[in-house]
Structure 1
Amino acid sequence: MLKMILSGCSGTMGKVIDHCTAERNDIEIVAGIDLHTGSDHSFPVYPSPEQISCSADVLVDFSNPALLNPLLEFGKKTKLPLVLCTTGYDKSQVKALQEASGEIPIFYSRNMSMGINLLIELAKKAERVLGSSGFDVEIVEAHHNQKIDAPSGTALMIADSIAEASGKQMHYLYDRHSQRKKRSVREIGIHSIRGGTIVGEHRVLFAGPHEVLTISHSAQSKEIFAHGAINAAVFLARKEKGLYSMADLIQEED
């Protein structure tokens, strides 16, 4: 059985992963990382990764971007594969994890849902077919009122994939209240909604001459992200150093 360290174990997603892991017989949590060490867990919880002394096969992180550097250092020191599910990394942090993947296996995705990653593949296909036919792209994402970052990491992941598929230098416009000009043809609009207990909704609109194509995904439970993270941990534990994503996991399952 694989041994996993869970970073952010006392948070909302950490608790869901704890519950989902307990229902499996191929992986178990042997330690947690969280500032709230007094929570009721069946495993020891430490406030920082460097305090962990037990051995493990993989670490899954659903915490805060501020913890990335300590996790990377811990991973490189112990040669431990890292599944990084936290959103909100800036460009320098993404660069840092990419560089660390030259020493250890790292799985990085801003969304652990299989459905979202299929949406991305469909959106890339739509851009390749419709992009040269005057279709504009708009992305609308909605999440619960406790989410801190906006736009969501998933919305940016979708936009990045569409921009790459277009083969052009695209500009992201966040909302339009400050704009008093016509829409640019090399623009992707990204809009955020925060309210209630919305788990996660993403819509991609391809608006063209006299027709609109909409690709959408609605997450009904946080368990889809938990199962995705656990599956990524099982996948990564047997990989060599390198940077992996949900696309690699989907391809292996095919």
Structure 2
Amino acid sequence: MTNIIMLGCNGRMGQMITDIVAKDDEAQIVAGIDIVNNRENPYPVFTDIKDCDVKADAIIDFSSANGFEERMDYAVDKQIPIIVCSTGLSDEQLDYLKEASKKVAVLKSANMSLGVNLLIKLVKEAAKKLATEGFDVEIVEKHHNQKLDAPSGTALALADSINDEMGGQYEYVYDRSKVRQKRDKKELGISAVRGGTIVGEHDVIFAGTDEVVTFSHTAYSRAVFAKGSVTAAKFIKGKAAGLYDMADVLM
């Protein structure tokens, strides 16, 4: 049994994870943390993380970037491995995370979906052959009209995985409207679409002469991210201090 503390338990993702864990015989939420305690939950909820004295095997953090450092300090102090799902972290906060990972197990991924992380592995393998053979690489991501950042963190993670595999030779291009010139071979285009209630779609396109290979992932519900975080919590239980990601979960 994996005992979980849920940070941001009363938010949309927190409640989704609560429902998923309730049906999981291998995990349970033993405490929740949220600045607003306005829901009935089957576990105690604390509005201040410092008041939580419940023992656990893992923490899932789906709260905002605000107060991030305090949550990392709590994980280090209590020696509880933490799954960081917060988005919009600053460079300084990411550095703080890396320092914390020297003292406690930390899992951070741009996308908690198991399918997306498998996609990242697949496009790295594809790049070895197709990009080497002169295929152009383009990434198109689509999300709902309420999403603030563009391109998505997942699109950047896909681009980085390909670029790392190819020795960092690509330059990312986000907008071609101001430049009238042919596409450079060392260009990796990233396009963002925003509209409606699209949960998340990512296409990685390898375009060669007379053929195109496309890798696609579509999320139809945010539940895929919730399920992935619970799988990650089971994985990180008992792990030594260090920085992990979803690729480690898939190994």
Q: Same fold per TM (> 0.5)?
A: yes
Which amino acid in structure 2 is aligned with residue 117 of structure 1?
N
How much has 1:26 moved relative to structure 2?
1.9
Distance 1:117 1:138 in 2: 18
Secondary structure of the corresponding residue to residue 137 of structure 1: strand
Distance 2:111 2:209 in 1: 32
Q: How many residues in Structure 1 have an aligned counterpart in Structure 2?
A: 251
User: What is residue 112 of structure 2 aligned with on the other side?
Assistant: 112
Structure 2 residue runs of 5 or longer lacking an equivalent are none
User: What is residue 185 of structure 2 aligned with on the other side?
Assistant: 185
Distance 2:194 2:21 in 1: 29
Secondary structure of the corresponding residue to residue 214 of structure 1: strand
Conserved? CA contact 2:10–2:38, under 8 Å: no
Conserved? CA contact 2:33–2:46, under 8 Å: yes
User: What is residue 24 of structure 1 aligned with on the other side?
Assistant: 24
User: What is residue 173 of structure 2 aligned with on the other side?
Assistant: 173
Distance 1:146 1:223 in 2: 18
Conserved? CA contact 1:58–1:80, under 8 Å: yes
Alignment TM-score, normalising by the size of structure 2: 0.93
User: What is residue 43 of structure 1 aligned with on the other side?
Assistant: 43
Which amino acid in structure 2 is aligned with residue 100 of structure 1?
A
Confirm whether residue 9 of structure 1 aligns to residue 16 of structure 2.
Answer: no
Distance 1:43 1:194 in 2: 37
Which amino acid in structure 2 is aligned with residue 18 of structure 1?
T
User: What is residue 241 of structure 1 aligned with on the other side?
Assistant: 241
Conserved? CA contact 1:232–1:249, under 8 Å: yes
Confirm whether residue 139 of structure 1 aligns to residue 120 of structure 2.
Answer: no
Distance 1:163 1:115 in 2: 20
Distance verdict in 2 for CA 1:67–1:160, change over 3 Å: farther
Distance 1:55 1:42 in 2: 16
Confirm whether residue 225 of structure 1 aligns to residue 219 of structure 2.
Answer: no
Which amino acid in structure 2 is aligned with residue 215 of structure 1?
F
Conserved? CA contact 2:142–2:202, under 8 Å: yes
Conserved? CA contact 1:86–1:110, under 8 Å: no
Secondary structure of the corresponding residue to residue 179 of structure 1: coil
Secondary structure of the corresponding residue to residue 132 of structure 1: coil
Which amino acid in structure 2 is aligned with residue 145 of structure 1?
N
Distance verdict in 2 for CA 1:249–1:44, change over 3 Å: same
Structure 1 residue runs of 5 or longer lacking an equivalent are none
User: What is residue 67 of structure 1 aligned with on the other side?
Assistant: 67
How much has 1:135 moved relative to structure 2?
1.6
User: What is residue 213 of structure 1 aligned with on the other side?
Assistant: 213
**More displaced stretch, 103-112 vs 191-200:** 191-200
User: What is residue 97 of structure 2 aligned with on the other side?
Assistant: 97
Distance 1:42 1:66 in 2: 26
Distance 1:81 1:171 in 2: 36
Distance verdict in 2 for CA 1:243–1:42, change over 3 Å: same
RMSD: 1.7
User: What is residue 80 of structure 2 aligned with on the other side?
Assistant: 80
How much has 1:155 moved relative to structure 2?
0.8
How much has 1:149 moved relative to structure 2?
2.2
Distance verdict in 2 for CA 1:99–1:185, change over 3 Å: farther
How much has 1:92 moved relative to structure 2?
2.9
Conserved? CA contact 1:144–1:195, under 8 Å: yes
Which amino acid in structure 2 is aligned with residue 53 of structure 1?
D
How much has 1:116 moved relative to structure 2?
1.0
Which amino acid in structure 2 is aligned with residue 91 of structure 1?
D
Distance 1:160 1:21 in 2: 32
User: What is residue 196 of structure 1 aligned with on the other side?
Assistant: 196
How much has 1:181 moved relative to structure 2?
3.4
Distance verdict in 2 for CA 1:138–1:67, change over 3 Å: farther
**More displaced stretch, 34-43 vs 77-86:** 34-43
